[in-house]
Amino acid sequence: MEAAVSRDTILASNTSSLSIAAMGAHLKAPDRILGIHFFNPATLMRLVEIIPAIQTDPAVVARARTLIGSRGKTTVIAKDTPGFIVNRVARPFYGEALRILDEGIADAPTIDWAMRELGGFRMGPFELMDFIGNDINYTVTETVFKAFYYDPRYKPSFTQKRLVDAQYYGLKSGRGFYDYREGAVAPEPTKDEALGYEILQRILCMLINEAAEALYLRIANREDIDLAMTQGVNYPNGLLQWADEIGIDKVVEKLDALYVEYLEDRYRCCRLLRKMQREKRNFYP
């Protein structure tokens, strides 16, 4: 491709997880490589993640941002790391829901009900996994898990793997966490608010922890992280803004309680959150 285009052409990939730097390594002019990640459906979703490689000329980033912005899109800048912003920060929405299901704390309809009705999310995690496709969602989780050197925060679930093995991909195959075949009866959730708020708090605090870690490691700035999650996956609130509203101390206390209970690194509290708790600071003024 490089040989077929002019020297000032931007060469971009729509990947959601592959290394942009690795792609640039094969170019004669790697300063024009860029990640430009649109979200499906691209005609409707406004968010676009822009990912410069370490070789990328800042002027190329500025040109791309101007061009994409002129098409009515909202851009955020992310560091070239696995999952960028959205596919990294969103992992606990699925992973912690699956863990709650695996432990028998609640079933899929109840978890989905809690996140929708109590948390304000447009879709619950199991509805969303079925909508995306369990094959796709599982592959993204597995890819991020391996790319982060098997960090337990991103560990895939055998429950979802078995659905993939059985080709129960979700809506597109007729079966997933739910049964979409003609005549199937939708299961009812257990509408226990105490249980529902416990589910919401657990998943939300894990999401906030991941967003805080992304900020701490300079994957993106505060505004871009919150913008990415509200416009890229339609979260009802930016996660860092949500942390301020809940209270940083309460988020840290919940994460610490989970860590004490499980003694798994999966539940380790981000150093930034702990420092902010100690200094009584918020993410926003």
Task: Cite the active site residues.
Answer: 37
Q: Any residues with CB less than 8 A from the CB of 156 and at least 6 apart, and which?
A: 95, 138, 141, 142, 145
181-190 burial by CB neighbour count: b if 16+ within 10 A, else e? eeeeeeeebe
∠ Cα 43 145 170 (to 5°): 50
Ramachandran sector of residue 133 (left: φ over 0; alpha: ψ -120 to 50; beta: rest): left
User: Nearest Cα to 111, choosing from 123, 122, 99, 97?
Assistant: 97
Residue 115 CA to residue 133 CA, distance in Å, equals 19
User: Nearest Cα to 197, choosing from 98, 125, 255, 118?
Assistant: 118
Residue 174 CA to residue 195 CA, distance in Å, equals 29
Q: Which ranges of the chain does DSSP label H, i.e. alpha helix?
A: 20-24, 58-69, 86-89, 91-102, 108-113, 125-132, 134-147, 158-165, 193-216, 222-232, 239-246, 248-262, 271-279
